[in-house]
């Protein structure tokens, strides 16, 4: 018997997995936009003058199984040793229930940043738990919902201290016992701002009157546990601010920074169950005194009420966010570390205060035992007082001992040329201690087990922490699993519906791409291991970099920046260093169009540049005349311009080459914000267009999930002339480093690499084309009901479109907020709201959404237009209608109902599912109430009832 092969593409074929519309759906969409083929459409949309000549090519696209096989082979080239290197990174145990139910659960990892609080109550609660945990452990009143890493947080603490200090001094003191990467990042950040950094011994070298602030490490990088109360008091006396970088696990035993009077505490929550991952991602924290909360960078979750007076969480103080503050911004942190923060908070929920304390005590006891063994061998162990880290001076045999330890499967820390550092952790077992002793020349098992502390009682903590009931749940796994499930169910993530966020590219995060991140060969590696242990990572990074170079037309990539904004900052620092190296260090003007993302001006200011704003023309493009005039006016001092391409207005501007040429003519460098690369991959390359450096948001274009507000990766690509100025190595204390680890959040790079492997060059190009088709399809279908704000002269948009909802506020008193909230009733996450144009919605469907899902969204948007028409034409009251009361909850199904529309219309508008209806857990959240009564930690249980008053 014979059969004909069908041409059906199985699921395990990249184009079917990542590309939503089926071939027949695509044909219908093309008909709607009036193009006879995808290529005809692309030729009309993407200007021919910027099209790339050669297609992307790196061989055949791999199937899932082929990719996983290749990934496995690469992973096996990494050697997983037990790393006792410390220096801010420690082995930890991720409770399996947390790993499976959060880290590996798309309901958690595919969520967006919680800007729409009504559909984000689950992760907002988890982040509030995080803040409560940090605030308790540090003894400070207010904590934020995460920063990128401890070193960036230390640099943020310095600039915050600069803003707050009464002292007019311009120097900042850094404890010589800070981790080298913290010193490096403080130096990087200080230099362009003209801040002098003094590194020294806080107990000998600190002249409090000469500085506006100081940073102490607690415990110190060599293990010291010092009471900083005296230097803190001296700083306060001089009107200066005291910052401490503190290990939260040590704080379970030790006197807290708050009890020593510190004003700001920062640190990493990595060892709360988040694997080292060769550098990240992990959540850094920042906490401060109540009086300083308004100066704190990053997002803060706060407690408010909804329209029924029920308790509801939201992001507090949002008006301080950098997209509002722009060139007045003091920090550029946008994407942070929401998912790692959730993981760390759950670790605390799982263990509770007794569990955390027991873990800390055991680590200390093991360290005491290790020290006793070493002392028995005749070594002098330093310091006398320690928590989990000790240092031994072994003199000339340093290399021999380190090598012996490595042969035992243990990495120790090399300090200088004679000393060795050892840090123990939750996973250290008796045989690890024996292996270390053997490396130091002793073969014994029974070092004295007397459980004594090497912490003076004056340093021990007697204040309580984690007292809130959330940290005292019944720890039966059934209960914990249900808690995580309950929170996940409150949220709307990509596993339920399209999240059409303009500029944020919320596309598929394929399961096969996610699987490798929890393989121990990727997750259990310390960021500072010898390079010969990470051949697999190096191969992966080299190959991904080569592909990204091919995609962007750049010559080199740095993987160090761990968010888009950090990429901007790193890129601008390379431009700054380039000018200085050429004797043109005076160049400090950065031209930025009004439509730029708020992180652009914020990063420019951080890099020591002055922002000159360029106008937009009526059609939304950069006003080339204004651009030229400003470039000429500042010709002598022009450092750079920052442009986004395609523009944040969702249009391929024809003048982008002119903008690059003008910048170069006046001696400036072009920074092209690569956040919109999803519209370019395979079709056009920033490097060919004339740009010198860009960041790529791997958490947008390259499938790293958004995690509810992070992690992300923002590597920069640049031309060869900028390559000498790439960020330096953080772990050795190099100024110029921008992240705590050289390859940023390395452990999520396999996601982007897997995407490239499974798509192949052709698949990636197809994805770009379909993303453009889908955006044009939406624009066309909505055009009758709403104005599409910007498009090319031929009437096309790029990969996103801006829907102008402002007229409705005039005719129907309907705001963009009302529309966003009503979309929740329809089971959707709102598009980007009021950016880049206030009062509008920016929609980006991405290539991943099927036509059916896009149509469901269109149906919802059209129905909302009709509801507005009912108001316009007087059929329903302007203040009492489904738009004003949106979103509706199950509360609206019961009790009194006196509204002029039905419960049916309220809860099941077009687009909403019947059986699979998504129910927002709260009605509309009251923002003003939340900011007036700022509460940023778990409210006391009594308040749970009061909130409903």
Ligand X SMILES: *Cc1c(COP(=O)(O)O)cnc(C)c1O
SS3 290: helix
Taking the C-alpha atoms of residue 631 and residue 559, their distance in angstroms, rounded to an integer, is 31
Give helix 180-193 / helix 150-164 axis angle, nearest 10°.
40
Q: Smallest distance, Å, CB 376 to ligand X?
A: 51
SS3 52: coil
Interface residue with ligand X among 597, 822, 865, 924 (CB under 6 A) is 597
DSSP code of residue 589: E
Q: Describe the strand order of the beta sheet including 669-673 as a list of residue ranges.
A: 556-558, 716-718, 693-695, 669-673, 638-644, 589-593, 610-614
697 near ligand X, rule: CB under 6 A: yes
Interface residue with ligand X among 142, 252, 334, 677 (CB under 6 A) is 334
Interface residue with ligand X among 139, 714, 909, 920 (CB under 6 A) is 714
Phi/psi of residue 862, each to 5°?
-70, -40
Q: 672 or 861: whose CB is closer to ligand X?
A: 672
Q: 305 or 767: whose CB is closer to ligand X?
A: 767
Tokens of 634: 């500042």
Interface residue with ligand X among 61, 604, 675, 677 (CB under 6 A) is 675
Q: 389 or 701: whose CB is closer to ligand X?
A: 701
Interface residue with ligand X among 516, 687, 712, 887 (CB under 6 A) is 712
SS3 214: strand
673 near ligand X, rule: CB under 6 A: yes
159 near ligand X, rule: CB under 6 A: no
- Which candidate, 343, 541, 363, places its Cα nearest to that of 451? 363
Q: 373 or 564: whose CB is closer to ligand X?
A: 564
Q: Smallest distance, Å, CB 795 to ligand X?
A: 24
- Which 180-239 positions form the footprint of ligand X (CB under 6 A)? none
Tokens of 686: 């920033």
Q: Smallest distance, Å, CB 18 to ligand X?
A: 20
SS3 288: strand
SS3 440: coil
Taking the C-alpha atoms of residue 880 and residue 392, their distance in angstroms, rounded to an integer, is 73
Q: How far is CA 745 from CA 84, 176, 570, 698, in A?
A: 20, 26, 15, 11
Tokens of 402: 């380190």
Print the binding letters for residues 615-654 with ligand X: x by CB under 6 A, - otherwise.
Answer: -----------------------------x---x------
Q: 428 or 644: whose CB is closer to ligand X?
A: 644
Neighbour count for residue 54 (Cβ, 10 Å): 8
Q: Smallest distance, Å, CB 336 to ligand X?
A: 8
Q: 335 or 881: whose CB is closer to ligand X?
A: 335
Task: Please return the burial class of 395, using the count of CB atoms within 10 Å of its CB with bins 0-12, 13-18 and 19+.
Answer: exposed
Q: Smallest distance, Å, CB 563 to ligand X?
A: 4
322 near ligand X, rule: CB under 6 A: no
Q: 257 or 561: whose CB is closer to ligand X?
A: 561
Q: 299 or 884: whose CB is closer to ligand X?
A: 299
Q: 589 or 675: whose CB is closer to ligand X?
A: 675
Neighbour count for residue 723 (Cβ, 10 Å): 15
Print the binding letters for residues 110-149 with ligand X: x by CB under 6 A, - otherwise.
Answer: ----------------------------------------
Taking the C-alpha atoms of residue 489 and residue 471, their distance in angstroms, rounded to an integer, is 21
Q: 536 or 715: whose CB is closer to ligand X?
A: 715
Q: 84 or 333: whose CB is closer to ligand X?
A: 333
- Which 531-570 positions form the footprint of ligand X (CB under 6 A)? 563-565
Taking the C-alpha atoms of residue 337 and residue 274, their distance in angstroms, rounded to an integer, is 12
Strands (E), 534-586: 556-558
Neighbour count for residue 231 (Cβ, 10 Å): 22
Place of tokens 């024809």: 654
Print the binding letters for residues 485-504 with ligand X: x by CB under 6 A, - otherwise.
Answer: ------------------xx
- Which candidate, 803, 825, 927, 816, places its Cα nearest to that of 882? 825
The alpha carbon of residue 159 and the mean position of all alpha carbons in its chain are separated, in whole angstroms, by 20
| Residues near 273 by beta carbon (within 8 Å), at least 6 away in sequence | 92, 93, 94, 95, 98, 343, 344, 346, 347, 350
Place of tokens 């922490």: 465
593 near ligand X, rule: CB under 6 A: no
Q: 324 or 893: whose CB is closer to ligand X?
A: 324
Q: Smallest distance, Å, CB 834 to ligand X?
A: 14
- Which candidate, 80, 149, 133, 556, places its Cα nearest to that of 337? 149
Specify which residues 244 forms β-bridges with.
Answer: 216, 265
Q: 248 or 500: whose CB is closer to ligand X?
A: 500
Q: 432 or 503: whose CB is closer to ligand X?
A: 503
Q: Smallest distance, Å, CB 507 to ligand X?
A: 13
| Residues near 19 by beta carbon (within 8 Å), at least 6 away in sequence | 766, 767, 770, 847, 848
Kindly report the CA angle at 228 between 222 and 231, in degrees rounded to 5? 120
Interface residue with ligand X among 599, 765, 846, 937 (CB under 6 A) is 599
Q: Smallest distance, Å, CB 844 to ligand X?
A: 10
- Which 59-98 positions form the footprint of ligand X (CB under 6 A)? none
Q: Smallest distance, Å, CB 676 to ligand X?
A: 6
Neighbour count for residue 444 (Cβ, 10 Å): 11
If DSSP states are collapsed to H, E and C, what string results for 469-502? HHHHCCCCHHHHHHHHHHHHHHCCCCCCCCCCEC
Interface residue with ligand X among 335, 398, 560, 881 (CB under 6 A) is 335
Q: 374 or 572: whose CB is closer to ligand X?
A: 572
Q: Smallest distance, Å, CB 417 to ligand X?
A: 39
Specify which residues 423 forms β-bridges with.
Answer: 389
Q: Smallest distance, Å, CB 113 to ligand X?
A: 8
Q: Smallest distance, Å, CB 356 to ligand X?
A: 31
Phi/psi of residue 305, each to 5°?
-130, 160
Q: Smallest distance, Å, CB 598 to ligand X?
A: 8
Q: Smallest distance, Å, CB 675 to ligand X?
A: 3
The closest residue (CB) to ligand X is 564
Q: Smallest distance, Å, CB 543 to ligand X?
A: 23
Q: Does residue 179 contact residue 245 with C-beta atoms inside 8 Å?
A: yes
- Which 416-445 positions form the footprint of ligand X (CB under 6 A)? none
Q: 240 or 842: whose CB is closer to ligand X?
A: 842
Q: Smallest distance, Å, CB 597 to ligand X?
A: 3
Taking the C-alpha atoms of residue 285 and residue 909, their distance in angstroms, rounded to an integer, is 41
Q: 189 or 224: whose CB is closer to ligand X?
A: 189
Q: 799 or 822: whose CB is closer to ligand X?
A: 799
Place of tokens 């993303």: 771
SS3 87: coil
- Which 863-902 positions form the footprint of ligand X (CB under 6 A)? none
SS3 641: strand
Count of chain residues binding ligand X (CB under 6 A): 16
Q: Smallest distance, Å, CB 650 to ligand X?
A: 11
- Which 261-300 positions form the footprint of ligand X (CB under 6 A)? none
Q: Smallest distance, Å, CB 836 to ligand X?
A: 9
Binding site residues, ligand X, CB under 6 A: 334-335, 503-504, 563-565, 597, 599, 644, 648, 673, 675, 697, 712, 714
């Amino acid at each position: 018997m014979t059969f004909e092969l069908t041409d059906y593409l199985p699921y395990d074929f990249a184009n079917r997995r990542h590309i939503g519309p089926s071939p027949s759906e695509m044909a219908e969409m093309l008909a709607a936009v009036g193009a006879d083929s995808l290529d005809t459409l692309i030729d009309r949309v993407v200007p021919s003058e910027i099209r790339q000549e050669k297609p992307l090519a790196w061989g055949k696209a791999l199937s899932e199984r082929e990719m996983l096989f290749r990934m496995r082979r690469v992973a096996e080239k990494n050697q997983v040793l037990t790393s006792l290197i410390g220096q801010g990174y420690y082995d930890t145990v991720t409770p399996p229930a947390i790993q499976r139910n959060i880290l590996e659960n798309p309901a958690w990892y595919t969520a967006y940043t919680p800007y729409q609080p009504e559909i984000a109550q689950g992760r907002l609660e988890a982040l509030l738990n995080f803040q409560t945990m940090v605030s308790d452990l540090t003894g400070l009143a207010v904590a934020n919902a995460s920063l990128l890493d401890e070193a960036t947080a230390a640099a943020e603490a310095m600039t915050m201290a600069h803003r707050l200090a009464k002292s007019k001094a311009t120097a900042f003191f850094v404890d010589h016992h800070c981790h080298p990467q913290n010193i490096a990042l403080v130096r990087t950040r200080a230099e362009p701002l003209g801040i002098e950094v003094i590194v020294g011994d806080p107990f000998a070298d600190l002249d409090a009157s000469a500085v506006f602030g100081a940073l102490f490490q607690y415990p110190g990088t060599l293990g010291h546990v010092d009471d900083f109360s005296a230097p803190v008091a001296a700083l306060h006396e001089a009107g200066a601010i005291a910052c401490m970088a503190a290990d939260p696990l040590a704080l379970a035993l030790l006197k807290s920074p708050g009890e020593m009077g510190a004003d700001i505490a920062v640190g990493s929550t990595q060892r709360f169950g988040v694997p080292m991952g060769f550098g990240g991602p992990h959540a850094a924290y920042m906490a401060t005194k109540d009086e300083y909360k308004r100066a704190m960078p990053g997002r803060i979750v706060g407690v408010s009420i909804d329209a029924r007076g029920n308790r509801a969480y939201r992001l507090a103080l949002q008006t301080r966010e950098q997209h509002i503050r722009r060139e007045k911004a003091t920090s550029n942190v946008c994407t942070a570390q929401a998912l790692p923060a959730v993981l760390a908070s759950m670790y605390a929920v799982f263990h509770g205060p007794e569990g955390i304390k027991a873990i800390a005590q055991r680590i200390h006891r093991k360290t005491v035992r290790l020290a006793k063994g070493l002392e028995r061998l005749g070594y002098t162990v330093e310091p006398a007082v320690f928590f989990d880290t000790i240092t031994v001076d072994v003199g000339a045999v340093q290399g021999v001992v380190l090598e012996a330890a490595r042969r035992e499967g243990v990495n120790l820390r090399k300090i200088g040329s004679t000393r060795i550092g050892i840090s123990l952790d939750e996973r250290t077992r008796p045989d690890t201690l024996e292996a270390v002793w053997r490396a130091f020349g002793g073969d014994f098992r029974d070092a004295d087990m007397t459980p004594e502390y090497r912490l003076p009682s004056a340093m021990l903590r007697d204040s309580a922490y984690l007292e809130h009931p959330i940290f005292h749940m019944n720890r039966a796994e059934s209960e914990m699993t249900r808690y995580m499930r309950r929170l996940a169910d409150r949220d709307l993530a990509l596993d339920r519906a399209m999240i059409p966020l303009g500029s944020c590219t919320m596309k598929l995060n394929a399961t096969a791409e996610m699987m490798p991140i929890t393989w121990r060969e990727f997750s259990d590696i310390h960021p500072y291991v010898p390079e010969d242990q990470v051949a697999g990572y190096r191969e992966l990074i080299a190959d991904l970099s080569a592909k990204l170079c091919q995609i962007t037309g750049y010559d080199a990539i740095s993987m160090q920046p761990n968010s888009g904004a950090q990429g901007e900052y790193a890129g601008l620092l390379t431009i700054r260093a380039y000018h200085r190296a050429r004797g043109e260090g005076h160049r400090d003007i950065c031209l930025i169009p009004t439509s730029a993302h708020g992180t652009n001006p914020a990063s420019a200011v951080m890099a020591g540049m002055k922002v000159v704003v360029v106008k937009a023309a009526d059609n939304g493009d950069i006003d080339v005349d204004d651009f030229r005039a400003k470039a000429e006016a500042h010709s002598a001092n022009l450092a750079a311009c920052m442009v986004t391409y395609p523009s944040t207005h969702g249009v391929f501007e024809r003048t982008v080459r002119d903008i690059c040429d003008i910048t170069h003519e006046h001696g400036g460098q072009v920074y092209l914000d690569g956040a919109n690369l999803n519209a370019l991959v395979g079709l056009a390359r920033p490097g060919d267009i004339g740009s010198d450096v860009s960041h790529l948001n791997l958490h947008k274009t390259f499938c790293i999930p958004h995690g509810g507000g992070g992690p992300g990766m923002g590597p920069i690509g640049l031309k060869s002339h900028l390559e000498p100025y790439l960020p330096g190595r953080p772990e050795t204390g190099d100024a110029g480093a921008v992240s705590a680890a050289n390859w940023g959040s390395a452990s999520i790079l396999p996601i982007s690499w897997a995407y490239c492997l499974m798509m192949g060059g052709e698949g990636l190009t197809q994805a770009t084309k379909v993303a453009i088709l889908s955006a044009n399809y939406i624009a066309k279908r909505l055009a009758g009901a709403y104005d599409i704000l910007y498009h090319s002269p031929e009437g096309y948009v790029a990969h996103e479109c801006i829907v102008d909802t402002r007229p409705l506020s005039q005719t129907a008193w309907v705001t963009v907020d009302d529309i966003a909230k009503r979309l929740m009733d329809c089971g959707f996450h709102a598009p980007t709201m009021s950016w880049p144009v206030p009062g509008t919605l920016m929609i980006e469907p991405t290539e991943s959404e099927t036509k059916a899902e896009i149509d469901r969204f269109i149906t919802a948007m059209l129905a909302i237009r009709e509801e507005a028409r009912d108001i316009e034409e007087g059929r329903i009251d302007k203040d009492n209608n489904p738009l004003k009361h949106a979103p509706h909850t199950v509360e609206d199904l019961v009790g009194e109902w006196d509204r002029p529309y039905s419960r049916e219309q309220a809860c099941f508008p077009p687009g909403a599912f019947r059986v699979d209806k998504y129910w927002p857990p709260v009605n509309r959240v009251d923002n003003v109430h939340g900011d007036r009564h700022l509460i940023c930690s778990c409210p006391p249980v009594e308040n749970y009832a009061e909130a409903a008053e």
